[in-house]
Structure 1
Amino acid sequence: MALFLLLLLILMAPSSSYAYWPPSPGYWPSSKFRTMNFYKGFRNLWGAQHQRLDQNALTIWLDRTSGSGFKSVRPFRSGYFEASIRLQPGYTAGVITAFYLSNNEAHPGFHDEVDIEFLGTTFGKPYTLQTNVYIRGSGDGKIIGREMKFHLWFDPTKDFHHYAILWSPKEIIFLVDDVPIRRYPRKSAATFPLRPMWLYGSIWDASSWATEDGKYKADYRYQPFVARYTNFKAAGCTAYAPSWCRPVSASPYRGGLTRQQHRAMKWVQAHHMVYNYCKDPKRNHALTPECWR
């Protein structure tokens, strides 16, 4: 009998690091917005020969010759932005798969940016999801990043998962499968992006920094490196919307996240966050006043 109970416990035990899932957020923003047709909302930005659309599922890839990127047709001043993404398994060191907001083309060298980036990895190691916020970044190498990094509670190569950015005049919220993983509140105009931005997606070679600070580079013996996107959503106030356009919300009400959402976010940060720029003693926090208590 004791042996039977032991075998039962072994079978019931978690089989991988992906066994523990966050508590329910109690609210699912992805269900509140319609999926958009890719060609109605986006256009190719570069690497058109490395893009393929099949029934509104976009495949982009990187090889030795080029990567690829796409951009929304319209700029936004606030909104909810989502795509379901599936990543490539295996060796992807040095490769960045991104989904982000930016106004770099309108303000070169002095732009704002809000990033979801997947940092490629080596065999047997998990992807790192990096979230980042830039405000009026300079083109002289003095860009101040606000990185928070996570190892997800699932394998992002096995299936599509929802990744979203909610940007309002008061806060930025990053969500994974409707679970808030990070909230970046507006504490001052100097530390918050307020100018209109476009929505982008891309895959490219960032060997100099992407994987363990550049220790591992893109290895083109494993090319092509592929990323798949679908279920595109971009809803909110465009840059051309009337002043009375109301920003969308990540919760059932317009007062920020609910207690249940906060609880889910704190769980993710406690169990899956692997880097927080505010906790990095090597950073000059005089440049990131939002970290001050």
Structure 2
Amino acid sequence: MASSIPISMGSLVLGVFIAFAMVGSVSSSRFDELFQPSWALDHFAYEGELMKMKLDNYSGAGFSSKSKYMFGKVSIKIKLVEGDSAGTVTAFYMSSEGPYHNEFDFEFLGNTTGEPYLVQTNVYVNGVGNREQRLNLWFDPTKDFHSYSLLWNRRQVVFLVDETPVRVHSNLEHKGIPYPKDQSMGVYSSIWNADDWATQGGRVKTDWSHAPFIASYTGFEIDACECPEVVAAVDNIKRCSAAGGEKGYWWDEPTMSELSLHQSHQLQWVRANHMVYDYCKDTSRFPVAPVECLHHHH
């Protein structure tokens, strides 16, 4: 019996270590550790690590992060509404609060069966948006889970799809253009009926006979600087930026201040092959190009 004790102890320690290692690697993927439903709680369903949110003719639904953050990276894997999703919008975004809020949006605009989903991105700075870009994807986002990410540091905001950059909003403060860098942001997602504009400019309405419309989520990850509500904003700003003298964050590394050459090529490919609308080129809306468009070379 005595000889078996070290073995059982060893396996116990190993088991604890493996369990701990697993917790460390998957803890961020659980919905309830990072997020909470914010409305229509009865429109949520949980299946293991999957969370499903539905839209029907009674209500949409939405969730929000439990904390707010300043700089870092947030990612969610989403499988979008299958079949005829015309009129529906599924959104994944970061936003601060108040009339002069900052916001980074992914909005997935539903389609009639067989038509491609459109992805609309937008950037709000100090309460001002109107920076829409639209693209179609190089895959069917309703057939499987794909990763959608927002990387945010003091130099750039990068929108990524399966780690491929699809949009960059650079810090051009040296050109007198405001940049979002001093408001903490929550992470949000919602599904709602937007058939007044979402599909073909509102011409195609939601067909409620196909309801409920279900978006599925997994792989919730937030690797960012958390901003406790009890801490003064100015102290959060100091702590979350390298100026605070804290240990450096990976997103502040010099290599993260702009896209790599490979990423730049990826973005060029996306823009050339998948972009269907760019506010910078919409002369009917903007007879004079918005000032940041003159400097964003991507």
State which of 150, 175, 180 in structure 2 corresponds to 1:193.
180
Q: Helix, strand or coil: the match of 2:202?
A: coil
Report if aligned partners of 1:86, 1:159 keep a CA contact under 8 Å in 2: yes
Report if aligned partners of 2:77, 2:146 keep a CA contact under 8 Å in 1: yes
Q: Which structure is higher in helix share?
A: 2
Shift of 1:265: 1.1
1:250–1:61: structure 2 CA closer, same or farther, 3 Å change rule?
Answer: farther
1:158 is matched with 143
State which of 156, 163, 167 in structure 2 corresponds to 1:171.
156
TM-score w.r.t. the length of structure 2 is 0.79
Q: What CA distance in whole angstroms lies between the structure 2 residues aligned with 1:33 and 1:191? A: 37
Q: How many correspondences in the alignment?
A: 254
TM-score w.r.t. the length of structure 1 is 0.80
2:67 is matched with 74
Q: Which amino acid aligns with 2:205?
A: K
Q: What CA distance in whole angstroms lies between the structure 1 residues aligned with 2:154 and 2:260? A: 18
> Which aligned pairs between 1:267-278 and structure 2 lie closer than 5 A?
267-278=269-280
Shift of 1:247: 4.7
Q: Summarize deviations over 1:92-123 as a string: whole Å, max 9, x none.
A: 111111110012xx31x332210011001112
2:283 is matched with 281
Q: Which amino acid aligns with 1:288?
A: P
Q: Which amino acid aligns with 1:249?
A: W
- Stretches of structure 2 that go unaligned for 5 or more consecutive residues are 1-24, 229-235
Shift of 1:36: 3.3
* Larger of the two Rg values belongs to structure: 2
Shift of 1:284: 2.4
- The percentage of counterpart residues that share the same residue type is 38
State which of 109, 114, 137 in structure 2 corresponds to 1:119.
109
Matched, 1:52 2:52: no
Q: What CA distance in whole angstroms lies between the structure 1 residues aligned with 2:28 and 2:287? A: 40
1:275–1:191: structure 2 CA closer, same or farther, 3 Å change rule?
Answer: farther
Q: Summarize deviations over 1:30-69 as a string: whole Å, max 9, x none.
A: xx99733211111110010001122221100000000110
Shift of 1:190: 4.7
Q: What CA distance in whole angstroms lies between the structure 2 residues aligned with 1:66 and 1:285? A: 39
Pick 1 or 2: higher relative contact order, CA cutoff 8 A, min separation 6.
1
| RMSD, aligned α-carbons | 2.2
Q: What CA distance in whole angstroms lies between the structure 2 residues aligned with 1:33 and 1:249? A: 21
> Which aligned pairs between 1:243-282 and structure 2 lie closer than 5 A?
243=244, 244=246, 246-249=248-251, 253-282=255-284
Matched, 1:130 2:120: yes
2:100 is matched with 110
1:213 is matched with 201
